[in-house]
Every structure is written in C-alpha cells, then in structure tokens.
Chains A and B, each alone.
Chain A
Amino acid sequence: MTAELAVERLNKVFTLRDGRRRTQLHAVRDVSFELTKGRTVALVGQSGSGKSTVARMIARLEEPTSGEIRLDGELAGRRGRSLARYRHDVQMVFQDPFASLNPFHSVAHHLARPLQLHHRLTGDQVQARVAELLERVNLPADFAERKPHELSGGQRQRVAIARALAPGPRVLIADEPVSMLDVSIRLGILKLLARLQREEHLAVLYITHDLATARHFSEEIMVMCQGEIVERGPSDDVILRPQADFTKKLAAAAPNPARNPRLAGLRPA
C-alpha cells in the first residue's frame, strides 16, 4: 500500500500578542503520519491539543512553520494552479455545518461550484452530477433547490460532505464532523463517511475528541496532547490497551454507564 498523503515533521508556531508582549505558542510539534487509500486514521485529543491546526495545515488553510506535506510524493501546492490541483485531491469537511454553508445560496449552488471550477462541467452535466452527489449522501434530489436554513444540522453536514466529494478527492479531512450534531444522528453521518470511504477508496483523516467513535470508525488512532502525538497504533490496541497516561486519562473521562453502581452486573438491552 502506498501513501496518498504523507505529513513529515509538521510544526506550527503561533505568535500571540497581548499589548506589546509577544509570546510563542507551539501548537503542533513534529507531527508525522501517512494517509493511505481506503483507510481511516483518527486523530484524537482534547480542545486546544492542536488537532484542528493539523487539519487546517493539510487543507492548506494554514501555512506550516516547518515540515512537509506530500501528495503522491510531491510537495503540496502553495498557491495558484498547483494549489488548485492539490485541492482537487484533498478536501475537507468542517465541524460546524451551520457556518460552513453560505445562507444566501441553494444546495445546488454549493455543489455546482466545485464541479464548474474543478471539472469545467456545464449546464446539464452539472445538474446530473449534483443529483448524483445528493444521492451519494442519501438526500432526496429535491433538496437541490433548498437553502441551508431549510435543512437540519445532519442534513447540512450531508451537503457539506457532498460538496467535499464534488471535486472527486482522494483524501478527505473530516474535522469533528459530528460534534455539533445531536447524539442520535451522529452515527448516521459516521456510517455515511465509512461507506463513502469504502466505495470511493478515500484516505480519511477523522479528527475527534470522542474515543468511542474513533475506535469504531478508524483503523488507526493517533492521540494528540499539547501539539504532540503521544500514542499511535491500531484502534483496538490504543483504546483497549492504552499505553500513554494521557490516553488512559482520556479513556477514563468518557461517559460510562458502568460507573453507575445501580447498573452493576447489568447488561445493556
């Protein structure tokens, strides 16, 4: 298996200004990993651990302080055409589906733009492809004419996923794709991502603070703490036999019915 996307010794230092004082924040420290076709890798950590900064650097929304991002062995484009080519292959789904869609535009517009820009499709071709994309994410075709405010959070996130798929990417970065959604619909969105990953052979980076879904929806887990990856390995190893103290702490923090003495000895229905 060859790596689609490789990240090598990625670093990001932010300079914070407080009046005339400047301090440096080392948000990401020497992070290296590879994403391969048809595999999901989870990046977990608490708020402020630097996981979103990693996502934003891979999506080219943030310039790394040092380190390399390679797609098929080639350095990721920085601007102009080479950046457009890179984005053709690497797409991102953001956390907040209430903020990532433009309220003035219809669903069709959101899906048509990448088709026009990346594939130079026109007229009927665009329409046909928009319908196809909606079907891919299990939304009815008539949703094309709706505006974001007419959709629920889960439906919006499906549109955001369809938009990310529009250029036909090979790598998908999903930054907390379900944390803004109701618990009961999270599983639906994650299963959708899992199916798309399988059917389109996507390389997926799933960023989350939820260890349970990280375990169930990825082959490999990387645990990030204060900008560094402190543990990585096959999902079940990391969750069921955590080595790093921080991973243990994170696992212990997840809500767990077994802690309730009233449930001692009981099995879930």
Chain B
Amino acid sequence: MTTSDPVLTVRDLTVEYHGARPVTAVRGVSLELGRGEIVGLAGESGCGKSTFAYGINQLLRPPAQITGGSVVFHDRDGTDIDVLALQGKALRAYRWDKASIVFQGSMNSLNPVLRISAQLRDVLTTHRPELSRAAAEERCTELLELVGVDPGRRHSYPHELSGGMRQRVMIAMALALRPQLIIMDEPTTALDVLVQRDIIAEIQRLQRELHFAVLFITHDLPLLLEISDRIAVMKEGLVVELDTVDRIYSAPRDPYTKALLGSFPTLTGERVTDTDADTDIDIDTATGEHASAADATADAGTDAAADADGRTVEGAAR
C-alpha cells in the first residue's frame, strides 16, 4: 500500500541479533508512513515491533544489526534523507529534530538527578544552540503547557511527578523540535486506565494541531483500533497484514489478525459464554503463550522470531 505524501518509507528492513543462535527479529518489513498519519503497529511481546522502531531510528546496538533494507525520510522541504547512511553529526542532527521517540517505560527514561526543566532545555540547547537562555526557558514553559503539565512544575525532579505527568513530560520532549514523525513505543502501557485515556486524548489533540505522523506501537489492539488511520500487524518479525483501520476491523484477512481481534472481550458486546472456556483454552495457550515463551528467551539477545513454527498459526487459524 502506498501513501500519496509519505514522510517515511521503509523497504525490506531486516534486523538480526547475533549470538550463539542468530535470530532474524525483523524479516524484510516494508512500511510507508503518510504525513500526519497515525499508523498502529500491533503484535505480541517478542514479535520484533520494538526492534523495528529502534531500527528505523538507527538506535540498535550490537548484537543487533541491520542487515538489509532501506529507510528514507522525506523532509518537509522535499529532500530525501537516507536514514541508515547517516553518521555522527548528521545522525544527531536528524534524530529528535526530524523524528523523535517516546520510549517504552518512559517512567524510567527521564534522568532522576536532573530537574525536568534542565532535561527539556538540554534538547533545545543541543539542537538549537542559537536560542538564548530566556527563549529556551520560554519554550519549556510553552511545551509543558502544551501537554497539560503545570509549568510551575518545571523545576521538579522526575520522582516528584506522577507516572502520567512523567509521560506527558516525555511527550513534551518529543515535541520540542516540532518533528514530522514521532514513534511511540507502548507509551501508555504502564499507566492506569483513566490516565491512559487523558494521555491518548492529549496525543490525538496535539497530532491534529501539529500534524506530525505517529507510529504507535502497542499490543493493545482495541486502543489501536480507536486511534489509528492504518494498522500493521506484526508476527515473528513479519508484517502479516497492513491495511486501513476499517478493513482490519471489519474484514481482516490474515488468520493471526483475526485471532488477535478475538483475544479481548468487548465492554458492551455479547458475553463470553462459559461453554467457550474448555474448547478455547488450548488454542489460546498455543496462540499466545508460544510467542511469549520466545520472549522469555529474548533477554539473552535472541528474539521471538526464532521460535517460529506452525503451531501458532494453526492455533490462530482454527
């Protein structure tokens, strides 16, 4: 599927983790993000979705290595940037300025010994050295207001803020340089439902106002269905289905997508009947836990793709 005005084009991206048992965590993934579009990337733990996100920003470190494919950023002014060829200064200038990331577990991505004002200012002084101290300070205030944090809290340390507020600060930081693309890796997974609702509403509002593209990564499919324009479903390093949200929702084609869609009960829908319980249980074991079992070994530098076998597909396809 092609987009008329893309901001990022990924072609056949392949990422390997080297080790005693090398693993191809991302296997030739192609994805195009339109300007101002929200694309959801869904998949279970260990399917390679975070590896993909890190890969397109050149954030992977050994034993991970990009072994194939291309990532091209189409700048607002019409120039194309070959992201994988960037090095040193050029790479630093690209990151955060063009594309930024809200990391998974943002609760811990702020520096605990620096006030949040210092951390926000750091982004600005690094990338916009021409900015005066007063102007940087003003921009910090503006950013915090933008994400709904009382600017009076800018001199707080991260531990003095709640989880939701820390997440908002992270989003403010990602917005600081007005990037054209923000990658959000499980930005609300660790948060309470009510706080998640606020943050999601905030992201949607900001996205409408500022028109950046979002790659939103999560295993929470209902959430993706709510916010995305398009959804890519990833499994064992491959995108098994990529389509508009309405088609994913009403007419999914891949059996794995169908299995994922069937894996959560809806709030107001029909009740999951008791009789399902026994028949479905082994299938659920096969579908879900297999991938997660692979995830358990992922700590050792391997990844889920390694454990690719037919069982999962059979279970899902039923």
Question: Which A residues have a C-beta under 8 Å from some C-beta of B?
Answer: 46-47, 138, 149-155, 181-188, 191-192, 194-195, 198, 209-213, 215-217, 236, 239-240, 249-257, 259-260, 262-263, 266-269
| Distance from A242 Cβ to chain B, minimum over Cβ atoms (Å) | 11
- With A152-B293, A253-B193 known to touch, is A186 a contact of B249 (CB < 8 Å)? no
Asked whether any CB of chain A lies closer than 8 Å to the CB of B77, the reply is: no
Tell me the nearest residue of chain A to B290, going by C-beta: A152
Partner of B194, one of A217, A240, A250, A269: A250
Q: What are 29 of the A-B contact pairs (CB < 8 Å)? A: A138-B282, A149-B296, A153-B45, A182-B45, A182-B288, A183-B264, A184-B284, A185-B284, A185-B289, A187-B280, A188-B289, A191-B280, A191-B284, A192-B277, A212-B265, A250-B193, A251-B267, A253-B196, A255-B196, A255-B222, A255-B223, A257-B249, A262-B229, A263-B245, A266-B249, A268-B266, A269-B250, A269-B251, A269-B252
B residues near A154, Cβ cutoff 8 Å: 285, 288-289, 292
| Contact between B292 and A152, CB atoms less than 8 A apart | yes
State whether A255 and B265 are in contact (beta carbons under 8 Å apart), knowing that A182-B44, A269-B258 are contacts in the complex. Answer: no
CB pair A194 B219 closer than 8 Å: no
Pair A46/B192 contact, Cβ less than 8 Å: yes
Tell me, in angstroms, the Cα distance from A212 to B258 when the chains sit together: 19
Task: Of the listed stretches B23-31, B106-114, B268-276, name the one at the interface; the rest are far from the partner chain.
Answer: B268-276
A194 touches B194 (CB 8 A): no
User: Which residues of the other chain, A, contact B277 by a CB distance below 8 angstroms?
Assistant: 191-192, 194-195, 198
Q: Are the C-beta atoms of B192 and A209 separated by less than 8 Å?
A: yes
- Is B97's CB within 8 Å of the partner chain A? no
| 10 new A-B contacts at CB < 8 Å, known A213-B265, A253-B193, A255-B200 | A152-B295, A154-B288, A155-B292, A185-B284, A188-B284, A216-B271, A256-B267, A262-B229, A262-B245, A263-B249
Could you tell me if B288 and A263 are in contact, using CB atoms closer than 8 angstroms?
A: no
Closest to B278 in A: A195
Name the distance in Å between A185's Cβ and chain B's nearest Cβ.
3
Bound-state Cα–Cα, A239 to B269, Å: 11
With contacts A187-B284, A191-B277 taken as known, whether A151 is within 8 angstroms of B271 at the C-beta atoms is: no
- Write out the residue numbers on chain B whose beta carbons fall within 8 Å of the beta carbon of A255: 196, 200, 220, 222-223, 225-226
Q: How big is chain B's contact interface, by range?
A: 35 or more
- CB neighbours (8 Å) of A183 from chain B are 44, 219-221, 260, 263-264
Alpha-carbon distance between A253 and B200 when the two chains are bound, in angstroms: 10
Which A-B residue pairs are the 3 nearest by beta carbons?
A188-B284, A185-B288, A257-B225
In the complex, number of A-B residue pairs with CB atoms less than 8 Å apart = 164
A213 and B296 CA atoms in complex are apart in Å by 25
Contacts A183-B220, A209-B192, A216-B271 given; indicate if A151 touches B266 (C-beta within 8 A). Answer: no
Contacting pair A182 B292 (CB below 8 A): yes
Q: Which residues of B contact A210 (CB under 8 A)?
A: 193
Known: A240-B268, A250-B193. A260 touches B245 (CB 8 A): yes
The answer to the question of B60 belonging to the interface, with a C-beta cut-off of 8 Å to chain A, is: no
- B-chain residues with CB within 8 Å of residue A250 when the two chains form the complex: 193-194
Question: Are B226 and A155 in touch, CB under 8 angstroms?
Answer: no
B260 touches A184 (CB 8 A): yes
- Verify A269–B287 contact, CB threshold 8 A: no
Fill in one digit per residue for B201-237: 1 if any A CB lies within 8 Å of its CB, else 0.
Answer: 0000000000000000001111101111100000000
> In the bound complex, how far is the Cα of B221 from the Cα of A239, in angstroms?
21
**Residues of the B chain whose Cβ atoms lie less than 8 Å from the Cβ of A149:** 296
B160 within 8 A of A: no
Q: How far is the CB of B275 from chain A (nearest CB, A)?
A: 10
Which A residues are in CB contact (< 8 Å) with B136? none
Q: Which single residue of chain A is at the shortest CB-CB distance from B219?
A: A183
Among B200, B251, B263, B267, the one with the most A-chain Cβ atoms within 10 Å of its Cβ is: B267
Q: Measured between alpha carbons, how far is A182 from B42 in the docked complex, in Å?
A: 12
Asked if B246 is at the interface of the complex by the 8 Å CB criterion, the answer is: yes
Cβ of B159 < 8 Å from any Cβ of A?
Answer: no
The answer for the CA separation of A269 and B269 in the assembled complex, in Å, is 13
The answer to whether B281 has its CB under 8 Å from any CB of chain A is: yes
| Interface: B244 (CB within 8 A) | yes
A196's nearest neighbour on chain B, judged by CB, is: B277
Q: Are B265 and A216 in contact (CB under 8 A)?
A: yes
Q: Is the CB of B267 within 8 A of A262?
A: no
**Docked complex Cα distance between A181 and B288 (Å):** 10
